[in-house]
C-alpha cells in the first residue's frame, strides 16, 4: 500500500487545477511501491478527451532538494526518446509543487505491466533500455552523489549490528562481516562513470510483451560507476524472487541486450563480479535496516533481506566461475 498521505477530493481537485491538464475526473491510490505516495489521475480536457497521469507525493525517503535532478533527468531522457515518463509542469512552469510541506509532481502515465517472472526476451529488452539510458544521459548537465553508496551500506549495517543481523539469520552477520570489507577494498576506481538508475528492479519497469514501455522510479538515480548499474539490474532480474536460483539464461540475455546498444569495456566486464557483490550488499543493507526499523503497524511490509543475502553468497561463491564472461 503506497499512499501514506490522505488527500481529500477538494485538495486533489485544487492540486490538479494548478496544471493545464483538464478537470479532475478521478484519483485512485496505487498500491504498488513503498517509498512514495502515488495516485492514478484521470482528467477531461476542454475537448472532452480523457487523459491519465500519475501524481506522486514524495515522502520521507526522497529529499525535495534532489527533485530538480530527478525530474530534470526524466525530461532529458524523454526528449531523447527513452521510455520514461515526462513531467507535467504546472501553470507557473514548475516541475513540482509543495502541498502542506510535501512535494508533489505530475508525470505522464505510461502503459505496461511489471513482470514477476521475466523471460530471456524481456531481460534482453531491459538490458538494451538500460544502455539507452546510459548513452542518453551522457550529456545530462547535472550530477548527484550516490546517497546509497558504500558509506550508506556501512552505516545501515552498523546500525543493525552483529546481533541484529544474527536475529534475521544466524549466518547473516558472518556473511556481511566477510563481504563488506572485501567489497570496500576491491571497489573499482578506474571505470567510466555517469548517470545511473540504481534501482532498476522488475517493479520499476513497465512492459508489454518483450517491449519496455516505461522505466520509472528514478528516485535513487545518481552519478556513479556505469557498470554498477548493470550489476544492480543483474541482481534484480537474474534470480528468482527469493534469490535461491540464479537464472543464467536471463543473465546472458540481459548482458547481450545491453551490449547490443553499449558494448562494455574489458575492464567493465572484469569488474562485474565485485560490482554484483556490491549490488547485492546494497539491497541487503537497506532491507535489513528496514526490517529492523519498520513498526509492526506500518503501512508497508518490509522486503526480505535474505533474498539479497542469498544473491551475495551466490556471487561470492561464483566469483571465479565466469558467470559474466561472454
Ligand atoms: N509513469 C507511470 N506510468 C504508469 N504507472 C506508473 C508510473 N509511475 C508509477 N506507476 C505505478 O505506480 C507504482 C509505484 O510507483 P513507484 O515510482 O515505483 O513508487 P515508489 O517510489 O514508492 O517505489 C508503480 O509500480 C506503477 O504501478
Ligand atoms: N528496489 C529495492 C529498494 C526498494 O525500492 P522501492 O523502489 O520499492 O522504494 C528493493 O527491492 O529492495
Q: Give the model's pLDDT for residue 267.
A: 97
Nearest 10 degrees: CA dihedral of 302, 310, 127, 58?
Answer: 20
Cβ(33) – ligand 1 distance below 6 Å: yes
What is the reported pLDDT for 192?
98
Closest-lying ligand 2 atom to the alpha carbon of residue 36: 9
Return the pLDDT at 2.
63
Q: Say what the pLDDT of residue 299 is.
A: 66
- Helix 120-136 vs helix 226-237: angle between axes, to the nearest 10 degrees? 160
Q: What integer pLDDT is reported at residue 79 of this predicted model? A: 98
Ligand 2 centroid from CA 174, angstroms: 24
How many A from CA of 165 to the centre of ligand 1? 31
Instruction: Report pLDDT for 312.
Output: 98
User: Does ligand 1 come within 6 angstroms of the Cβ of 216?
Assistant: yes
**Ligand 2 shell residues, CB under 6 Å:** 33-35, 199, 201, 217, 283, 286-287, 303
Q: Identify the structural domains of the chain with CATH numbers, from first to last.
A: 9-108 (3.30.200.20), 120-324 (3.90.1200.10)
Tell me which H or E stretch contains 160: helix 150-168
For ligand 1, atom 15, the nearest C-alpha belongs to: 33
Q: What is the pLDDT of residues 35-63, one digit of tens each?
A: 789 999 999 999 999 999 999 999 887 89
The per-residue pLDDT for 33 is 74
Q: What pLDDT score does 31 carry?
A: 82
Q: What separation in Å is there between the alpha carbon of 5 and the centre of ligand 2?
A: 19
> Which string of b and e fits 196-209 if b means at least 16 CB within 10 Å?
bbbbbebbbbbbee
Which residue has the CA at smallest separation from atom 19 of ligand 1? 33
pLDDT at 58 (0 to 100): 94
In the block, cell 496505487 appears at 30
Could you tell me the distance, in angstroms and rounded to a whole number, from the CA of residue 2 to the centre of ligand 2? 12
Q: What is the CA radius of gyration of the chain?
A: 20
- From the CA of 288, which ligand is nearest? 2
- Considering the entire predicted model, what is its pTM? 0.95
Which backbone phi and psi does 98 adopt, to 5 degrees? -105, 140
* CB 268 near ligand 1, within 6 Å: no
pLDDT of amino acid 297: 76
Q: Which atom of ligand 2 is nearest to the CA of 287?
A: 12
Cα 216 to ligand 1 centroid, rounded to whole Å: 6
Nearest-CA residue for ligand 2 atom 12 is 283
Q: Which are the contacts of 210, defined by CB distance < 8 A and separation ≥ 6?
A: 119, 121, 122, 124, 125
* Distance in Å, CA 172 to ligand 1 centroid: 31
Low-confidence ranges of the chain (pLDDT < 70): 1-2, 299
Ligand 1 mean position, distance from CA 221 (Å): 15
CA distance 321 to 319: 6
Amino acid at each position: 500500500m503506497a499512499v501514506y498521505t490522505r488527500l481529500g477530493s477538494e485538495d486533489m481537485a485544487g492540486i490538479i487545477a494548478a496544471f493545464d491538464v483538464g478537470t479532475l475526473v478521478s484519483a485512485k491510490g496505487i498500491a504498488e511501491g513503498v517509498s512514495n505516495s502515488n495516485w492514478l489521475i484521470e482528467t477531461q480536457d476542454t475537448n472532452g478527451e480523457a487523459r491519465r497521469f500519475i501524481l506522486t507525493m514524495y515522502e520521507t525517503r526522497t529529499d525535495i532538494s534532489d527533485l530538480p535532478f530527478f525530474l530534470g533527468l526524466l525530461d532529458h531522457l524523454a526528449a531523447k526518446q527513452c521510455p520514461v515518463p515526462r513531467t507535467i509542469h504546472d501553470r507557473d512552469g514548475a516541475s513540482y509543487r509543495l502541498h502542506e510541506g510535501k512535494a508533489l509532481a505530475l508525470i505522464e502515465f505510461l502503459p505496461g505491466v511489471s513482470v514477476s517472472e521475466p523471460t530471456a526476451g524481456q531481460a534482453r529488452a531491459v538490458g538494451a533500455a538500460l544502455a539507452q539510458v546510459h548513452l542518453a544521459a551522457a550529456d545530462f548537465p547535472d550530477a548527484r552523489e550516490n546517497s546509497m553508496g558504500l558509506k550508506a551500506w556501512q552505516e545501515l549495517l552498523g546500525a543493525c549490528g552483529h546481533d541484529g543481523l544474527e536475529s534475521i539469520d544466524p549466518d547473516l552477520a558472518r556473511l556481511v562481516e566477510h563481504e563488506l570489507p572485501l567489497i570496500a577494498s576491491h571497489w573499482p576506481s578506474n571505470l567510466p562513470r555517469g548517470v545511473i538508475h540504481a534501482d532498476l528492479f522488475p517493479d520499476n519497469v513497465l512492459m508489454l510483451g518483450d517491449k519496455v514501455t516505461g522505466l520509472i522510479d528514478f528516485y535513487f538515480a545518481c552519478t556513479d560507476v556505469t557498470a554498477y548499474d548493470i550489476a544492480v539490474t543483474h541482481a534484480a532480474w537474474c534470480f528468482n524472487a527469493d534469490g535461491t536460483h540464479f537464472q543464467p539464461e536471463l543473465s546472458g540475455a540481459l548482458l547481450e541486450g545491453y551490449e547490443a546498444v553499449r558494448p562494455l569495456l574489458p575492464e567493465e566486464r572484469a569488474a562485474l563480479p565485485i560490482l554484483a557483490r556490491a549490488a547485492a550488499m546494497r539491497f541487503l543493507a537497506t532491507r535489513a535496516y528496514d526490517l529492523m526499523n519498520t513498526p509492526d503497524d506500518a503501512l508497508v511490509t518490509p522486503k526480505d533481506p535474505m533474498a539479497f543475502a542469498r544473491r551475495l553468497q551466490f556471487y561470492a561463491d561464483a566469483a571465479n566461475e565466469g558467470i559474466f564472461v561472454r
